[in-house]
Structure 1
Amino acid sequence: MSTSQTLPMDKETNPALTDEREPVRMDVIEQIAAMAEGTERPALIWGNTDRATVAAEALWVFARRVGLDGRGDDAFTAVQDLIANLMHLCEQEDITSGEVTFRSLVDLAEMHYLAELDENIGL
């Protein structure tokens, strides 16, 4: 099971995509999430594969909860819905307010992501 596959975007989000790319199905996310079963709590993060596995586990729990866990369901929809629900949570509980916007959280997360990618260079 490779966690190197990225979640695809639809053509409305990214018109440059071609029809050749198949969407990642939730059964793939389920298989990645299963790799976390029986591991230590809290999870030991040794690299980006561990980070992706923990994220898949969270996404799989969410997808099961909202009914997006069917074999035909695609991960793109589950990720979108999870992000939208996180936005609702952040607004409702004032996690984001004033100058701290959800966009600023996403920007900070992207900075962490890019730094973590750099950690794997040369491995």
Structure 2
Amino acid sequence: MKNNTLNGIPATVLETMAEHLIDQPEPVKIRSVEDHAALAAQALWAFACKTGLNRESESVETVVTDFLANLLHLCEQCDPDGDGAGCLNGLLETAMMHYEQECGGNGEELI
């Protein structure tokens, strides 16, 4: 069953979240889960702007879904076997481990 939680959130929220990083020197020092989310929001907002999804009438779910579809295309082109889904699934498993370590299992970043 599909979780549509992100469907009700307008894509423009990504711009607001990305503003959390304004005035931070690069490379950004990650100090909180908010910093992690802001980095992702910044990348997704740039994608939304390039694809025309940067409107109040579009949802965060649409932006994330379209971005993931593009990641599948990228993985397919970069994988020697052309297995974009297998490549991305492997990356998602590793990303889940990173996420769990960063959240400490309860939504708070480990120190």
- TM-score normalised by length of structure 1: 0.74
- Aligned mates of 1:61, 1:44 — CA distance in 2: 20
Unaligned runs of 5+ in 1: 1-11
Match of 1:46 among 26, 31, 48: 31
Matches within 5 A, 1:17-56: 23-56=8-41
* Matched-pair identity in %: 34
* Partner SS, residue 63 of structure 2: helix
Q: Does 1:64 align with 2:65?
A: no
Q: How many residues align?
A: 107
One-letter amino acid of the structure 1 residue matched with residue 2 of structure 2: T
Name the amino acid aligned to 1:103: N
Consecutive unaligned residues of structure 2, counting only runs of 5 or more, are none
- AA partner of residue 19 (structure 2): A
Q: Could you say which residue in structure 2 is the equivalent of 1:9? A: none
TM-score w.r.t. the length of structure 2 is 0.81
Q: Quick one: structure 1 residues 122 and 45, their matched pair in 2 at CA, closer, same or farther if it must change by over 3 Å?
A: closer
Instruction: Please give the residue correspondences for 1:98-113 in structure 2 after superposition, counting only pairs within 5 Å.
Output: 101-113=87-99
